[in-house]
Homo-oligomer: A and B are copies of this chain.
Amino acid sequence: MKTILIYSGGMDSTTLLYKLLADGDEVRAISFDYGQRHKKELDCAAQICKKLNVPHESIDVTNLKSLMRGSALTDRIEVPEGHYEDESMKQTVVPNRNMIFISLAIAAAVSAKFGRVAIAVHAGDHAIYPDCRPEFIEKIDATARIANYEAIEVHAPFLHISKGEIAKIGRTLSVPYELTWTCYKGLDEPCSKCGACVERAEALG
């Protein structure tokens, strides 16, 4: 298959990148700079793609920021600490983020004559991010199949597994997790307290 991967440079999408390559896919990776504090993930994405010889494009969508207001990941709101299940974690939701990213990746797939778009949403995301839930993936996949002359599939193979299970798959594929970036705060070192850090530490055990 020829697959456009929505690639953040974090542990889930890096595992998916390794999995797609192991499955024999031809992969192109796209990352989005949407003004996130943790822009460091974009450097990780570029570095890992270079290492794997995977074409990688980083798209600057920061001028869409006025449309995607109100998230602690992009605005001057403090990044909450704790688990994804915590109510405060809703502050990290970026309005319609995955729908926008998937729509852009579909355009890239149509332009490149690739048949699918892959995204590394997983079961642990469901508690807090509406645009990571099975119902969302099912409906946007149905839309992607008829929005252009070319039917595009939205492929989300981690949709029903946990971050811990993703880490297990990653270990069998020798994913270099030390090269990935997870922390939401975007400081020099991971904060170890934000939702993303907590979930990562638990998954990697």
Residues of A within 8 A of B (CB): 30, 57, 59-61, 63-64, 66-70, 90, 93, 95-100, 102-108, 110-111, 130-131, 133, 135-136, 139-140, 142-144, 146-149
Contact = CB atoms under 8 A, between A and B. Distances in A.
- Per assembly, the copies of the chain total 2
Contacts of A100: 100, 103-104, 107
A67 B148 contact: no
A112 to B, nearest CB: 8
Contacts of A139: 139, 142-143, 146
Contacts of A149: 90, 93, 130
Contacts of A143: 99, 136, 139-140, 142-143
A106 B131 CA distance: 13
Contact of A148 (B96, B102, B105, B106): B96
B104 A130 contact: no
A204 to B, nearest CB: 30
Given A99-B144, A135-B146, 19 more contacts: A60-B63, A61-B64, A67-B104, A67-B107, A68-B111, A69-B111, A93-B149, A95-B106, A95-B110, A95-B111, A96-B103, A96-B148, A99-B143, A130-B147, A133-B146, A136-B143, A136-B146, A139-B139, A142-B142
B68 A95 contact: no
A147 B70 CA distance: 16
Given A59-B64, A66-B57, A68-B107, A95 B131 contact: no
A70 B112 CA distance: 10
A149 B99 CA distance: 13
A107 B96 contact: yes
Contacts of A105: 67
